[in-house]
A and B are shown apart, each in its own frame.
Chain A
Amino acid sequence: MAAPTLPLDSSSISINNASTPAIVFDNVALGFGDNEVLRGVSFSLPRGETKALFGVAGSGKSLILKLAIGLIRPDSGRIVVLGQNITEMSEEELFDLRGKIGMVFQESALFDSLTVRENVAYRLMGVHGIYNDEIDQKVREVLRFVELERTLELYPSELSGGMRRRVAIARALITHPELLLYDSPTGGLDPVTSNTIIELIVKQRDVNQTSALMVTHRLQDAFTMATHHFDRRSNRMVAMPRGQQCEVPMSFLVLRDGKVIFDGDLHALANTQNEYIKEYIS
């Protein structure tokens, strides 16, 4: 059975043509009072690539995602997202940019007073030129993609933790964003459900090839993503033959004490000489 795909629109097609990185962090620092969380973080996420962000609890991983979407401002440094320097943008200007970014929050952050349909359609409601029929069609398409088509009229409280994450992913995908930010998408889930979510992220990565930055505590999730690809014919995630690279580039970033101590691919990570990273991944 072929995997359900999301119809591409003009904005998602442009990603492959653009040469500017999706995200650039240039010497970004952020602190709260005396606690300096990020101390000159610099990295770049090329278009079409997926980057997994590791670090111990409190190392500022989620902050990097919130900085990337402009929910918080850095104390110093420069952040360029989809070619725009967001450190110099007003909140009003950021709202337009955020239309091109999808974010999946740690605890899903679904609107609890809205149904699944309303949550997923949130970005489209009130947009000029989009009518209810079209919204319904898009919502069904994206819910079919995350295999939750039957939950349309349910409220978030009626869903399991894994289903809530999938609805959050559907909400992030409905406008075909150019960039996806995942904040611990498998955090607090059992291994089976975690695998379902990772399979969904791999499916999104391989089918739509959207740039993505993913924060995770679970090393095995990122390794699974690096060693598997989505097979459209069987509609499931399958392991790649040993030594074969994934079509969509996948890289890893490790944070320690507010600084980036590693930025590279799976091969470089596996062969690193850094004792801290060796211990971390062992």
Chain B
Amino acid sequence: MKCPAFLCYSFGKAWPTAAGFSERMELTSPTDFAKEQVQTVQSYALFCAQTLANLFRKPFYLADMVLQADLIGVGSLPIVALTGFFTGAVLALQAANTLERFGSITLVGQLVSISMVRELGPVLTGLMVAGRNSSGMASELGSMIVTEQIDAMRALGTDPMKKLVTPRVAATVFMLFFLTILSDLVGLVGGLFIAKVLLRLDARQYWYNAWQTLVFQDVFMGLLKPVLFGFIIASIGCFYGMNARGGTQGVGRATTQAVVAASVLILAVDLFLTRLLMATLSFH
């Protein structure tokens, strides 16, 4: 069925080319749309399974893993540190405002500590790294697809999944774990800065409260999340990159979709994982 361009919209299908905007655009039926989405989920599941299986299959491309760890991990340090610092600082500021009403302003350290370690450290680090690296992976691999470099790699006897995808996934999981720890620490320092400079609290008391309030469940939750988020960031970025179609416009679309999908998936998985861990780790 055809319809005028201004009445039509695309259901996850390729947008028309710039030249094709004046042309009529085909409306995808809801059934086709649903099938397409199910097929995408299925392809993504297979892609993830293959990536995980490749972790245990030779060759391992360790040099590529180290290179990616440097690009993803070390390259993300400034953005993660800045995000952590300002998040911790604003948390302290907001918490102080509320706690002051109850005469418990000394508990700022506890609140910043629990919020950063359990939730904001992993999530914000994940979102920052997703914005920086999912897009990078999607555009890099997408460009390789449209210029036939991936085909050339296969023709030269190299498995692109092992050479390009698995090292990126392994490096992101590994580095996001440590970036999250760093973000937590810098977030606490940000909170300390506000507590000391603006709230005139005792620094030792802040650190004592922040440290003592943390229990195993908090730390476990805060360190399990980056492992999953790292996998989501890299697998989504690589998946969209490896499935980019339609030249440079397709690469741009893949890049945008990768960031959106990775960010939404991080937030959704965070909700379900938090609920699951709260139930299994006996949170009170």
Contact = CB atoms under 8 A, between A and B. Distances in A.
A99 interface: yes
Contacts of B148: 105-107, 109
A29 to B, nearest CB: 21
B70 to A, nearest CB: 14
Contacts of A106: 148
Contacts of B158: 95, 122
A194 B151 CA distance: 24
A69 B156 contact: no
Interface in B221-257: none
Contacts of B23: none
B203 interface: no
A103 B152 contact: yes
Interface in A86-105: 91-92, 95-96, 98-99, 101, 103, 105
Contacts, number: 45
A179 to B, nearest CB: 12
A69 B155 contact: yes
Interface hub of B59, B155, B159 (most chain A Cβ within 10 A)? B155
B103 interface: no
Contacts of B59: 126
B55 to A, nearest CB: 16
Interface in A200-249: none
A71 B159 contact: no
Interface in B153-196: 153-159
Give chain A's interface secondary structure class. loop
B151 A99 contact: no
Interface residues of B, number: 13
Task: Give the contact-size bracket for chain A.
Answer: 20 to 34
A95 B152 contact: no
A57 B153 CA distance: 25
B40 interface: no
B149 A101 contact: no
Contacts of A99: 157
Contacts of B153: 111
B147 interface: yes
Contacts of B155: 69, 71, 98, 101, 103, 105
B154 A71 contact: yes
Interface string A53-69: 00000000000001001
B271 to A, nearest CB: 37
Interface string A171-215: 100000000000000000000000000000000000000000000
A112 interface: yes
B160 to A, nearest CB: 11
B39 to A, nearest CB: 14
Contact of A95 (B147, B149, B159): B159
B157 A112 contact: no
A99 B157 CA distance: 6
A122 B156 contact: yes
Nearest to B161: A91
A96 B157 contact: yes
Nearest to A70: B154
Interface in A112-133: 112, 122-123, 126
B46 to A, nearest CB: 13
A254 to B, nearest CB: 25
Nearest to A174: B156
11 contacts: A103-B152, A103-B155, A105-B148, A105-B151, A106-B148, A107-B147, A109-B148, A110-B149, A112-B149, A126-B59, A171-B156
Nearest first, the 9 closest Cβ-Cβ pairs linking A and B are A109-B152, A109-B148, A103-B155, A98-B157, A95-B157, A99-B157, A105-B148, A123-B156, A109-B149
Interface of B: 59, 147-149, 151-159
Given A103-B152, A105-B148, 5 more contacts: A71-B155, A91-B159, A105-B151, A109-B152, A122-B156
